[in-house]
Amino acid sequence: MAQTDLVRKVVGPFLRHAGQREVDAIFLTHGDYDHISGVADIAAAYDVHDIFIGPRFRYHAVGVAPTEGLLHALDQEDRPPRVLNKGEAIPLGRDVEVNVLWPPKNSQLSSNDDAMVMRFTYAGRSILFTGDIQEDAEKGLLANPGQLKSDILIAPHHGSSEVTTTAFVRAVDPQVILSSNDRHLT
């Protein structure tokens, strides 16, 4: 079920509960609607200055009305997203860093497999955000398995199973796996 009015019904209440009044940055793994809905409203409501996308985000947005609309709105509001490339490290504060692990700059994969994969670290702990990557991206990331080790894994593609899933999870070696699949895990 799609959530409407994410600012008023989800983000706002959560931020109030957490005692926060602002959003510093938004990272968009890829342009699928379930990953971008509400971003323009959140960016405006919380004066978000840093919005990050991967190198193929705009390419995959062509012909996809919601994603094109988001990019247009952000550009019009003078909030053009900044492109992050594999290998970049973004400091977000004291002891907080984001490392971009994927996609390669000249990737020719699907929107899902071109999703930006990031490893967030804070005070020696880590979370691996995988977007909707599938087998091709997992294979590419497994070429350097040491970079994947994380305490928490946000399950790729909502917890779907790929031929590479077992090896991928083994390389990440998480203590916790979070999945947004509302049915059953594969």
Beta strand spans in 21-162 (E): 25-28, 50-53, 82-83, 89-93, 96-102, 117-122, 125-129, 152-154
Whether pLDDT at 1 is above 80: no
Which pLDDT score is estimated for 27? Answer: 96
Strands of the sheet with 82-83, listed across from one edge: 25-28, 50-53, 82-83
* pLDDT tens column, 120-138: 999 999 999 999 999 999 9
Mean per-residue pLDDT, 14-26 = 92
Six-digit token pair at 49? 């200055």
Whether pLDDT at 184 is above 70: no
Cα–Cα dist 46/32, whole Å: 22
Which pLDDT score is estimated for 140? Answer: 96
Query: What confidence tier does 106 reach under pLDDT thresholds 50, 70, 90?
Result: confident
Query: What confidence tier does 2 reach under pLDDT thresholds 50, 70, 90?
Result: low
Cis peptide before 103 (omega within 30 of 0): yes
Mean of per-residue pLDDT scores for the chain: 90
Handedness of CA 65, 68, 71, 72 (dihedral sign): negative
For 19-134, where are the alpha helices, taking DSSP H only?
A: 33-36, 39-45, 57-61, 65-76
pTM (predicted TM-score): 0.90
CB 138 within 8 A of CB 168: yes
Mean per-residue pLDDT, 92-104 = 93
Q: Which amino acid appears at position 10 of this protein?
A: V
CB 22 within 8 A of CB 50: no
* pLDDT tens column, 150-176: 999 999 887 788 889 999 999 999 999
Residue with more model confidence, 180 or 65: 65
* 58 class by beta-carbon count within 10 Å (0-12 exposed, 13-18 middle, 19+ buried): middle
Which pLDDT score is estimated for 159? Answer: 73
Nearest to 57 by CA among 106, 129, 116, 135: 116
